[in-house]
Structure 1
Amino acid sequence: MSTSGIEVEGVERRSAGLSKLVVGEVLETQQIPETHLNICQVAIGEEQPTQIVCGAPNVKSGIKVIVALPGARIAGNHKIKKGKIRGVESLGMICSLEEIGFPENVVPKAYVDGIFYMPETAENGAEIFDYLDMHDEVLELSITPNRADALSMRGVAHEVAAIYENTHVNFDEKMLIESDEKTSDKIAVEVATDKVLTYKMRLIEEVKIAPSPQWLQNRLMNEGIRPINNVVDVTNFVLLYFGQPLHAFDYNKFDEKKILVRKAENGEKITTLDSSERELTDEDIVITVAGKPVALAGVMGGENTEITDSSTSVALESAIFDGTSIRKTSQKFNLRSEASARFEKGINQADVEIALDYAAAMIAELAGGKIAAGVVSNNDFTAKDVTVSITLDKINRALGLLLNELEVTAIFDRLGFVTTVTNETFNVTVPPRRWDIAIEADLVEEVARIYGYDNIPNTLPNVSNTIGELTAMQKFRRVIRTNLEGAGLSEVISYSLTTPEKAVQFTKFPTENLTALAMPMSEERRTLRLNLTSGMLDIVRYNIARGNDKLAIYEIGQVFAKFGNETDNRPTELPTVALAMTGKAYDFYDIKGVVENLLTKFDKVRFEADKAIGELHPGRTARVIVGEIEVGFVGQVHPTTAKAYDIPETYVASLDLTVLLANQPEQVIFTDIPKFQASRRDMALLVDRHVTNQEILDIITSSKVKTLAKVELFDVYTGENVASTKKSLAYTLTFQSAENQLTDDEITAAVTKITKKLGEFGAEIR
């Protein structure tokens, strides 16, 4: 089964590891004074009864129980020994279902806090395993979402039959015996929403609610479902058997003999079976009687029509509800159930009425009811077969096989598909139980599964022996990544999909360059990004909210822009690197320094003040220019934008990797290490506040001092002793000659030349 696509995750037998567990009959009980304990005399098929001390609240004489004899192994590999309790000898243990391995959530409520009563027909001293079907082997299957047809015993049976080359599956049938009274005379059904494909109902009267027979309880417990009573248990059994969810209403609790299925009204309320009041919206589907909701369609019934021990008439529902609506409702209320899961993934539409009839007959059999004649429904819905055509050549080419017509036809026959062949074309009629099959590729998959993936020969692809090599962009990205990580930044990855509003932030692209998704999964992920920065700010916010208030991060990724190409409307992918820094440890010059270090090998890198990007601070933002080409920006996030993202002062940068790669120096020219010592002079300038560092650097460079090797800005000051319209810029000038050691006079002359040039610009030497 696993190799055919339905994976068997495990095989479990509840009796595994258990031993010496027998049926016992409690003949007599005597309470130990001042305790909750009872001394029980238990018949276990031997000449004399066995004395066992039991603390269960529901122990009494005359019941059949589970007895663990001395030396027995129970759940958890615990061994039972003879012992004394309060000075009284105890020769074994009377067990609950949990103590022999049943999970609490499947134990009938009557026995959750006590011991389990075995059937009265159980033979004293006999092993309990057969009575509880504990020797049954339970297969745990992993069903993929596309194979919801296997979420039922009948669906799995069809699959097993196909694997083992059987072409016909025989299923148990129930004889439906109807009374003379008509269902249509007692109840009517109306559907007022297109979210319900069909809605059917039957009526069973004069039922007697009681516990289900032991075989049915065993079956449900082995399937992980708690037995309730002989009506509710039938609906759960049919759910497992057919994969068709059903719901049973107490017909006598209906205020009106008419069912209306409709969308809920906003603010409408219902109390569900778990005693929780839930407020509904118009996205939910409700079953109503006399204007009041009695069930949340496909999810959970209402408390006001619950089947109880006093119920005598059952209105039984079988329907096909819209899977998307059911999913939204179940997620909203956190009410994930076996029924809602099947509606979400799809059900066999051909079995809606068949499952209803089977359940009605089973209820009549187990609860002694009378089935009213006929089914009431909102329409005459009939499930239809689907016909898919495919050629033999397509099957063989897809699988790399040389199958013939007879082999392929035999596979379709094993699957229960009716097939006709015309000119090597298979016309395959697929029954409604396989609603996952609709196109040629589905048929190819079916042939591969049943033929056997292991039987398909392994072949190596025909490829040339070309040695692989990284592209120039891949190499460049690696260099960028190494540089940034060396600078202490951590790499992040943000979503490529965002909102149209965030997509156009931090960019000069117009909205016409946006790429919208035709079928977005959510409003927050409906547009391809035009920038990396907005996604990084989301990451900053996420970390800030969790106490990580010092961040230095980067991302290398693609942004997507449409450029109106008439022949190809697909967006262009633009490789980009973005940086973000936040926290008291960082300021504008930190992130600018990282960018400068990143661009060390590029010629003529400069930064020019820029106000074009509205999401950046107009006084703390610069364009990054290499040569004469703008490659990106560096700056502080505008306070208004930072507030919108709920983040503190943050600095960001973004560079276009395509432009950088195109302008990368082709050759690195190595020069000799200077033989003569460098000399440094510090210089502080008083300039107008609007003057930029780049302007000062340009003036110093224009002085054409040949021995000037480097200029570095090391301080910017505004405040005391500096006019409010001015600022102080402090630089370190490095002088060095490759020909001789510079004298003080030569350096002084060079500084004077630079000072004169700065003076012409209006800069004052402090």
Structure 2
Amino acid sequence: MNVTKGWLGDFLDLPESAAEIAKDLTMSGSKVETFSCWNDSISRVVVGHLLEVADHPNSDHLKVCKVDVGESEPVQIITGAQNIKAGDYVPAALDNSLLPNGVKIKKGKLRGLPSNGMLCSLGELNLNTGNFPTCIEDGIMILPGEYTPGTPIDEALGLNDPMIEFEITPNRPDCLSVIGLAREAAATYRRPFQKPASSFSEDENDRIERYLKVTVLEPKACPRYSARVVKNVKIGPSPLWMRNRLHAVGIRPINNIVDITNYVMIEYGQPMHAFDYRHIGGGEIIVKMAGENESFTTLDGQERSLNSSMLTIADQQRTIAVAGLMGGLNSEIEADTTTIVFESANFDGVTVRKASRALGLRTDASSRYEKGLDPVLTQDALDRACALAEQLAGGTVVAGLIDINNDLRSPRIISMRPERINTFLGTQIDPHFMKDALIRLEFTVDDSKTPWIVKVPSFRDDVEGEADLAEEIVRLYGYDQIPTTLVQMATTQGKLTPEQALQKQLSEAFLACGYNEICTYSFISPKIYDKLLLPADSPYRKSVTISNPLGEDTSVMRTTAIGSLLTALAFNYNNRNLTARLFEPATTYTFTGRDTLPAEQIEYTAGCYGKEESFYTLKGAVEQILDAAGLPLNEIEFIPCRTHPSLHPGKAAQIFYRGELLGFLGAVHPLIPAQFGLPENVFIANLYFNTLFKVEKPAKTYRPLPKFPATGRDLAFVCDRLLTVGEMEKVMREKGGAILESISLFDIYEGKQIASGKKSVAFSLTFRAADRTLSDEEIDQKIKKMIDGVVALGAALRT
């Protein structure tokens, strides 16, 4: 929020410099980002009066000017501009002057004649025709009116008023106005606050009822609508002081009536609009919802498609404005407008925000409505606009006011205990100061008994309780006045919770396996479920729906993180990463009912693609993760899974430990990669952290290094393709007994040397006893039992 120091000074005595104001208001809670003045970057540029203008004797395009710059003698300045004549007042940059663009002007010679400075254009002074509509862009700036030669140009043009930029937090929409900031300054400096003059004369022989009728069909979306009619207005440029102030706050001046509405919006924080009365069909304004797919052209010339959720201002035939956003081209103020209708209304912030987002249209007005405005403002702002229209446009205000007020809110009352405030803040603030501070901020305080009764002003909707009152008091008391005290408590060594420790172990194990951690949004599009081939009755479709989503792509909370993972893999693939390994400790949310919170679960989701990736590379990584979690791998079972809709029916498995389902892994269903823009071979795994954490894990025990050597053997079997390695391993472990130290799968082959529908599976076996060296006979006996057990499953030993 930008405001000039002089504008603030309209409401209170403010002798402090911009730097002092910035410091003091920041300390009292109104943070100042920066402050500057147009004349900070300019020097020795003054008003010059052209006494003589003659052609240069040595040039056919240069002019030799004799200029009165307020010195004892006129100076000679040569220029190439053709739009000047004797008698004009112009900006003259003297010798050793500095322009806003950083250019330094020195005296010199042009075609043999001395030139002691430069006559300036609008652009060279960093100005434009918005401020000075009578000037031209391409040529010397001709100053309107008469001036005293030698007057500094910033003083002559009223550009010596410092601009202060405030950072306004969303809870303080009242400070999106000059009046709101002036209130803060008045409270900070303990000075009286004075509202601007808003008195005007009304034509008692002409009543507003003859001109206008207002009907509000949507009172919830429009709690208050105020309007007045002003006739006999003369459209023209605003005075320089108003144009300068609007320009300082970033608003382009247009004409006196439109500028008045913008000026009042900045001054009061209440958006306004002016309609050309000639274009209000039937003399009636109707506040209603738009028609579905209604076409409407706004003031910026854009044709927009409205829908039935958008509030509009209409007459008896058509829409003339989108409420809280922008007026229509069909009712704009024109050069020959003589009668206007000033609108000052309070619109529901949620309705305005939704319309703004849907139309892709954000304005100064909508940004204020979205944060919530005080309905009391509408009439105050309307009266101020009428007073300015009378003063600056020669208008006559028609007697009477239309004010439809559906705002039934009562003032907020808060009970306050002074001792509780001090306890809350850790201070010893005098109760008299507390009362004075609240009164300075326009609260009403009844301290006749304890607790005090405090009435909150209507423009402070952010103040809801005693803690808020404490904040108001302490910011005027001074945060720097609160004594520094050390926390009186025992300190303990920080440590991870068991859940955090396990999460850290799992993440480090994934990283050790070459996976990169990602972090994705918990909000997803429901269309993800279709891409994952989830059936209509799938429990994964029971999502928590967001009531105010940023868009459809973030409209539900995810029940599975697979979609987010595949989206991240696709992003990498589309950026020409030929291989990728990603994982995420993701929280998922399952809908449990309208009156209960969703069920949350942490899932470790991992995925990979690439030439070297396969079901077995992912399975190996998962085994390392489970080992890091403290689970004995010989008790982990991988059971074929042919029913998960998102997995390949022949390349997927569920992971069990002592009967508990820990998750699943496998190749993505063949129809899914194309949905995400991925290559064919993509593999994913999903581990349920909550289950991993709660399952019983064997205690770690010390085992001495083996004293006796190990013996290795290899076995290869030919079996049906549907026989799983897990089933074969389980039998071999049972038959191998205590001396079988480990089993490792090292090859699976399907090809020309193997019959159709069959596969060759090869294992590496390690035998060892803790108390002796094993004999070949002892190992052979175990090998024979293992072979017999696997053959019983339908396999044959491959020789």
Same-fold status (TM-score > 0.5):
yes
Q: Map of 1:117-136 to 2, 5 A cutoff?
A: 117-136=142-161
In terms of mean alpha carbon deviation, does 672-681 or 215-224 score higher?
672-681
Aligned residues: 762
Deviations 1:583-621 (A, max 9, x none): 333221111110111223532223111234332222211
Would the alpha carbon gap of residues 665 and 79 (structure 1) be closer, same or farther in structure 2, given more than 3 Å must change? same
How far apart, CA to CA, are the structure 1 residues paired with 2:707 and 2:132?
A: 87
**In the alignment, structure 1 residue 200 sits paired with structure 2 residue 212:** no
1:667 alignment partner, one of 700, 713, 724: 700
**Counterpart in the other structure of 1:248:** 274
Matched residue type, 1:596: E
Pair 1:716–1:187, CA change in 2 (3 A) = same
List runs of 5+ in structure 1 lacking aligned partners: none
C-alpha spacing 1:542/1:323, structure 2 compared with 1 (3 Å) = farther
Q: Is the partner of 1:432 in helix, strand or coil?
A: coil
The aligned residue for residue 6 of structure 2 is none
Cα 1:273/1:113, change in 2 over 3 Å: farther
In the TM superposition, residue 518 of structure 1 has moved relative to its aligned partner by 8.1
**Which amino acid in structure 2 is aligned with residue 118 of structure 1?**
L
Kept in 1: contact 2:79–2:119 (CA 8 A): yes
* Aligned position for 1:694: 726
| Cα shift at 1:330 | 2.7
Is residue 21–residue 128 contact of structure 1 (8 Å, CA) maintained in 2? yes
The letter of the residue matching 2:617 is D
Q: Distance in 2 between matches of 1:234 and 1:641?
A: 60
Change beyond 3 A, Cα 1:175–1:574: closer
Q: Quote how far apart the aligned CAs of 1:184 are.
A: 1.9
- Provide the rounded CA distance (Å) in 2 between the counterparts of 1:506 and 1:403: 65
* 1:316 corresponds to 2:345: no
Q: Which moved more, 1:420-429 or 1:389-398?
A: 389-398
The aligned residue for residue 8 of structure 2 is none
C-alpha displacement of 1:499: 6.5
Taking the aligned partners of 1:97 and 1:668, their CA distance within structure 2 comes to 85
Judged with a 3 Å threshold, the aligned counterparts in structure 2 of structure 1 residues 516 and 490 are, in CA distance, closer, same or farther, namely same
Preserved contact between residue 513 and residue 563 of structure 1 (Cα < 8 Å) = no
**Bigger shift: 353-362 or 250-259?**
250-259
Name the SS for the 2:447 alignment partner. Answer: strand
Displacement after TM superposition at 1:404 (Å): 4.9
In the TM superposition, 1:591-630 aligns within 5 A as 591-600=618-627, 601-603=630-632, 604-630=635-661
Matched residue, 1:392: 418
Q: Which letter does structure 2 place at the counterpart of 1:620?
A: K
Kindly tell me: are residues 325 and 613 of structure 1, through their superposed partners in 2, closer, same or farther at Cα, counting changes over 3 Å?
A: same
**Is 1:91 the equivalent of 2:116?**
yes
Deviation at 1:146, TM superposition (A): 0.3
Match of 2:212 among 163, 171, 187: 187
1:81 aligns with 2:87: no
- Structure 1 position 447, deviation (Å): 2.0
Structure 1: which amino acid aligns with 2:185?
V
What is the distance in 2 between the residues matched to 1:620 and 1:36? 86
1:357 aligns with 2:371: no
Deviation at 1:268, TM superposition (A): 1.9
Does 2:8 correspond to 1:8? no
Q: Distance in 2 between matches of 1:87 and 1:272?
A: 57
- Closer, same or farther in 2 for the Cα pair 1:205/1:573, shift >3 Å? closer
**Cα offset, 1:719, TM superposition:** 3.8
**Contact 2:544–2:598 under 8 Å retained in 1:** no
Summarize the Cα distance change of 1:617–1:114 in structure 2 as closer, same or farther, 3 Å threshold. farther
Partners of 2:43 and 2:98 within 8 A in 1? yes
Report the 3-state secondary structure (helix = DSSP H, G, I; strand = E; otherwise coil) of the residue aligned with 2:342.
Answer: strand
The reply on whether 1:539 has 2:539 as its aligned counterpart is no
- For residue 45 of structure 2, the aligned residue among 21, 31, 48 is 21
- Per-residue displacement from partner, 1:531-558 (whole Å, max 9, x unpaired)? 4334323433444454445321112244
SS of structure 2 residue aligned to 1:20 = strand
2:19 maps to which residue? Answer: none
Paired with 1:439 and 1:51, the residues of 2 have a C-alpha distance of 70
SS in 2 for 1:608: strand
Find out whether 1:760 has 2:792 as its counterpart.
Answer: yes
Q: Distance in 2 between matches of 1:641 and 1:391?
A: 63
Cα distance change on mapping 1:742 and 1:574 into 2, 3 Å: same
Mapped contact 1:624–1:631 kept (Cα < 8 A): yes
The 3 A distance-change label for structure 1 pair 351 and 31 is: farther
2:580 corresponds to which of 551, 555, 578: 551
Asked if 1:338 corresponds to 2:364, the answer is yes
- 1:183-582 counterparts in 2 under 5 A? 183-194=208-219, 195-379=221-405, 385-498=411-524, 511=539, 516=544, 519=547, 521=549, 529-548=558-577, 550-560=579-589, 573-582=600-609
Distance in 1 of aligned mates of 2:487 and 2:666: 51
Q: Distance in 2 between matches of 1:109 and 1:5?
A: 42
Deviation at 1:763, TM superposition (A): 1.3
Deviations 1:549-580 (A, max 9, x none): 5321112244456889xxx9555654432211
* Secondary structure in 2 matching 1:225: coil
Gaps of 5+ in 2: 1-24
Work out whether residues 261 and 288 of structure 1, in 8 Å CA contact, stay in contact via their aligned partners in 2: yes
- Report the 3-state secondary structure (helix = DSSP H, G, I; strand = E; otherwise coil) of the residue aligned with 2:507: helix
Shift of 1:120: 1.1
CA pair 301-547 structure 1, distance change in 2 beyond 3 A: farther
Specify the SS of the correspondent of 1:146: coil
Give the drift of 1:323: 1.5
CA distance in 2, matches of 1:283, 1:216: 37
Q: Quote the residue 2:735 is aligned against.
A: 703
**Which letter does structure 2 place at the counterpart of 1:151?**
L
2:349 is matched by which residue type in structure 1?
G
Q: C-alpha displacement at 1:622, in angstroms? A: 1.1
Q: Could you say what secondary structure the match of 2:47 adopts?
A: strand
- What is the CA–CA distance in structure 2 between the aligned matches of 1:252 and 1:439, rounded to whole Å? 49
State the Cα distance separating 1:109 from its structure 2 match: 9.1
Q: In the aligned structure 2, how far is the partner of 1:114 from the partner of 1:337?
A: 34
1:139–1:495 distance in 2 versus 1, CA, 3 Å: same
Identify if the C-alpha distance between structure 1 residues 512 and 721 changes in structure 2 by more than 3 Å, giving closer, same or farther.
closer
Q: 1:61 deviation in Å?
A: 5.4
**Separation of aligned partners in 2, 1:563 and 1:312:** 63
Query: Could you say if the C-alpha distance between residues 267 and 457 of structure 1 is closer, same or farther in structure 2, counting changes exceeding 3 Å?
Result: same
- Matched AA of 2:299: L
Deviation at 1:246, TM superposition (A): 1.3
Residue 188 and residue 41 in structure 1: after superposition, are their counterparts in 2 closer, same or farther (change >3 A)? farther
- The letter for the 1-side match of 2:33 is E
Measured in 1, the distance between the counterparts of 2:541 and 2:336 equals: 68
Equivalent residue of 2:343, what SS? Answer: strand
Residue deviations 1:154-201, cap 9 Å, x none? 1111111112234x4122313311123222212222222232222222
Offset from partner CA, 1:692-740 (integer Å, 9 cap, x none): 0101212322332665443322232334343332222233334556677
User: C-alpha separation between the residues in 2 aligned to 1:226 and 1:35?
Assistant: 38
2:197 is matched with 173
Measured in 2, the distance between the counterparts of 1:121 and 1:204 equals 33
Shift of 1:92: 2.3
Which one of the candidate residues 670, 695, 710 is aligned to 1:639?
A: 670
- Alignment deviations for residues 495-526 of structure 1 (CA, whole Å, 9 cap, x no partner): 33456897998999984996847855456656
Residue 232 of structure 1 aligns to a residue whose secondary structure is: helix
The 5 A counterparts of 1:31-70 are: 40-46=65-71, 50-54=75-79, 59=84, 62-70=87-95
Aligned to 1:138: 163
Q: Which amino acid aligns with 1:171?
A: K
Q: Percent identity?
A: 34
Q: Does the 8 Å CA contact 1:105/1:225 hold for their aligned counterparts? A: no
- C-alpha separation between the residues in 2 aligned to 1:59 and 1:549? 69
Q: What secondary structure, in the 3-state scheme, does the structure 1 residue paired with 2:692 have?
A: helix
Per-residue CA deviations over 1:419-448 (Å, capped at 9, x if unaligned) read: 113531121122222232233333232222
